[in-house]
Amino acid sequence: MPEYDVRGVRVSFPHEAYECQLVYMERVVEALEEGKHALLESPTGTGKTLCLLCATLAWRQHYMQKNPGKDAPKVVYSSRTHAQLKQVIQELQHTPYRPRMSILGSREQMCISQEARQADRGGQLNMICSMLRKSKRCAFGSRAKEVVGQLSRTTSEPFDIEDIVKLGKEHRGCPYYMTRGLYETCEVAFMPYNYLLDARNRKGIMLDEKTILIMDEAHNVEAVCCDASSFDLTANDIRRAIRDTEKCIQMLAYDFSSTGKENKGRFSMLRAQLSGLERALTNVQTGENGFTRDGIYFQEFLAAPGIGINHS
């Protein structure tokens, strides 16, 4: 396999590198050596992914050789979708580099518990998983840590989500928690953008100032940021919430304790707010193409039925 000296770093490459690939890898190594941000672009078909992987992993090896005993930075490689990450991992398989790795995904993609799957009624899998684990009724979850130990000793080949699900079924360990366990000690982690851009998902990622963060296909980042900051709220959603609130009020009708009375009052207030929001939405005239308004408009819109940061 050809090797190249790129700014003093020995980079192994799966084939003879083109000049543009050598220039690209030189820019990657330069950014890593100098601790800079880098915005890199190259035409489709020029092997950007291979260049990113080989240059980054070669630099990481070089760092460890120069700094024995020091922890090398973790590499976090992100792209928009798992389908794109699968292609990246396939490229990694073509290189000589075999870092300890993990790939993060959702329970919907990784859960192998038939009990949890059958109980899920749409969007409830996270809650069901938590309940099963707390009650120790998920045999796969309880074995995840043990299986991670086995895989750390025996598995060196890069894997994608389909591979880790298959391994989970073979070893009867939860793939979702296996990847979380592998993430703690991995050298390279693959994940979609939303794990980095959504504050709720980012809490468990443990990034620091030394982390090497690669955002592939970065022209998609703006759209993902928009999605992470947006949500849909339909009239049907509000009607269902009103019905659920009314059920809670009925359940508390015969609870005469101070806590019961307090909760009934809170649910009654919530029902009034939701009913006010439903009426307000009915009066909105959007036209065929909808409309766009600034944040102040929506703050005032929600304040009318008593919803907002100034309302308890």
The vertex-135 CA angle with 129 and 137, nearest 5°, equals 70
The pTM for the full model equals 0.77
Q: Band of the pLDDT at 47, cuts 50, 70, 90?
A: very high
CB 160 within 8 A of CB 89: yes
Quick one: what percent of the chain has pLDDT higher than 90? 55
Arithmetic mean of pLDDT over the chain: 89
CB 116 within 8 A of CB 138: yes
CB 49 within 8 A of CB 3: no
CB 88 within 8 A of CB 190: yes
**pLDDT over 80 at 121, yes or no:** no
* Rounded average pLDDT over 22-28: 97
